[in-house]
Amino acid sequence: MNMTHYMQLLADNQPWNLMLFMAIPIVLAETLAITELYILFTRRFHGFIWGLNRFSGAAVGLYFIGVIIYLMTTAVVPITQAGQWRTVIDVIAVGSYLIGGLPLIWIALQEFGLVNKSLNQEGKLKIHAICVALFLVFGHVAMISGMLDPGLLGYQGTAHAVDGAMPAAHGH
């Protein structure tokens, strides 16, 4: 079976790429989502859970800024320039992963007081919840499409081929 660049990124350079591009951002995002539910139900805008929510929101947003910059420069641009996308499945997987980081970046911007300044706590909570939902949707689209075989749409590469187009997946 052929792999998308998304899956190749996670499979290569074990266990580091899996930790850097999946485990760390997902643990932070899931912490954000779980604490978000607690705050939605309790409306407690103080205390440990509130602080953990704010920390995880700021941290995962900042983290994704780095991930997006890194993957755009080391993977997306080179793959595009070389014409080495492995069908639309590959584009959807990588694109959804990167787009999924944008709502998390918005949460971080909100936590630092750079956006949504005029909103009250309730309004900011709604934005948080919408952004978490968007991340979950795009993240799951990325994971599902990333696990598909691009050969389903005609990609003719050799199974598990390493074409050198994704330096991030090789630890360079």
pTM: 0.86
Q: What is the mean pLDDT of the chain?
A: 90
Q: Name the pLDDT band for 25 (thresholds 50, 70, 90).
A: very high
Question: b/e for 151-162, b at 16 or more Cβ within 10 A?
Answer: beeebeeeeeee
Distance, CA of 124 to CA of 118 (rounded, Å): 9
pLDDT digits (tens, 9 = 90+) for 93-114: 999 999 999 999 999 999 999 9
Nearest residue to 150 (alpha-carbon basis) of 98, 77, 79, 55: 79
pLDDT for position 30: 94
Q: What is the DSSP code (8-state) at residue 151?
A: G
Give percent above pLDDT 90 in the chain.
Answer: 84
Q: Name the pLDDT band for 1 (thresholds 50, 70, 90).
A: confident
pLDDT for position 167: 47
Please say whether the beta carbons of 145 and 99 come within 8 A.
Answer: no
pLDDT digits (tens, 9 = 90+) for 40-98: 999 999 999 999 999 999 999 999 999 999 999 999 999 999 999 999 999 999 999 99
Distance, CA of 85 to CA of 150 (rounded, Å): 9
User: Cβ contacts of residue 118 below 8 Å, gap of 6+?
Assistant: none
Question: What token pair was written down for 141?
Answer: 């689209």
Q: Going along 5-162, which residue ranges are E strands?
A: none
**162 has pLDDT over 90:** no
Nearest residue to 9 (alpha-carbon basis) of 154, 147, 151, 156: 147
pLDDT for position 132: 94
